[in-house]
């Protein structure tokens, strides 16, 4: 294999990964932001770390955020056995605490919401987890003080 072809062959995966990252970043930043209420539980994905697994509470969601006033339920999250399952990755050190809070959510008065970046035709991307309207990091810091 000539030197040029070897360089191209080796660089191709890295170039594709960088391209994919930049594309996702653009979609995330340029998409329309929508806030949706959630409830759920916490498993661990070996290769991407801890994530919160939750379902969107469409009954209490404000569909006016979407351009045609209809909540595009099928565009969000993949079909699971019982319902559509969504993910939000969290640092390992906070996973247990967040999981506990999220699991207790159904019986408590705390409001859990997720901010998505929504582009029509593209899978929505979760941007931020809100607890009582505040980013989860700030909420946990306030709770721990």
Partner 1 sequence: MSLAKKLKKWEAFGFISQEQADKIGRFENTFNSEWILKTLFWLSGSLIGFGLILIVGANWDSIPMPIKFVGDFILFGACLYGVYQSIEKKHSYWAEMFLMLAFLMVGATIGLIGQSFNLEGGWRSFALAWALLSLPFALMSRLKSLNVAWVILLASSFLSLDDLEDLIFKLEFYGLVILVFLCAAASYGSYRLAEMVKNRVVLFQALARTFLLTMYVMLFVSGCKFGIFSDFLEVRSVLAKFFVLTFLGICMLLAFKRKDIKSFRNNALLLELYICFLFLSSLHDMLVSGIGFIIGGLLILGLIFVGRRTLVYIKNMQGFKKNV
Rg (CA), the chain: 18
Nearer CB in complex with partner 1: 12/108: 12
User: What's the closest the beta carbon of residue 5 comes to partner 1, in angstroms?
Assistant: 11
Q: Is 4 in the site for partner 1 (CB under 8 A)?
A: no
Among 4, 30, 46, 121, binds partner 1 (CB under 8 A): 46
For the bound state, the minimum distance from the C-beta of residue 2 to partner 1, rounded and expressed in Å, comes to 12
Looking from the CA of 29 toward its CB, the CA atoms found within 13 Å total: 6
Residue 59 has what DSSP assignment? Answer: G
User: Is residue 21 near partner 1 by the rule CB under 8 A?
Assistant: yes
Residues binding partner 1: what is the number (CB under 8 A)? 40
Burial class (CB within 10 angstroms; exposed 0-12, middle 13-18, buried 19+) of 58: middle
Closest approach, Cβ 35 to partner 1, in A, equals: 15
Minimal distance, residue 32 CB to partner 1, in Å: 16
Cβ neighbours of 125 (radius 10 Å): 16
Beta strands in the chain (DSSP E): 32-41, 44-45, 49-56, 78-79, 84-89, 112-118, 125-131, 134-135
What is the signed CA dihedral for 75, 85, 102, 115, rounded to 10 degrees?
A: -20
Site for partner 1 in 92-111 (CB under 8 A): 92-94
Q: Which residue ranges make up the site for partner 1 (CB under 8 A)?
A: 3, 6-7, 9-14, 16-18, 20-21, 24-25, 28, 45-51, 77-78, 86-94, 123, 125-127, 137
């Amino acid at each position: 294999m000539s030197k040029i072809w070897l360089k191209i062959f080796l660089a191709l995966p890295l170039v594709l990964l960088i391209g994919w990252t930049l594309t996702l970043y653009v979609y995330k930043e340029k998409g329309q932001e929508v806030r949706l209420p959630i409830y759920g539980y916490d498993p661990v994905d070996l290769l991407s770390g801890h994530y919160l697994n939750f379902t969107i509470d469409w009954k209490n969601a404000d569909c006016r955020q979407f351009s045609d006033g209809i909540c595009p339920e099928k565009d969000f999250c993949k079909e699971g056995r019982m319902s559509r399952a969504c993910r939000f990755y969290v640092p390992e050190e906070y996973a247990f605490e967040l999981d506990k809070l999220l699991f207790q959510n159904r019986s408590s008065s705390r409001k859990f919401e997720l901010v998505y970046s929504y582009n029509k035709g593209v899978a929505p991307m979760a941007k931020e987890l809100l607890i009582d309207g505040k980013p989860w990091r700030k909420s946990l810091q306030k709770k721990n003080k």
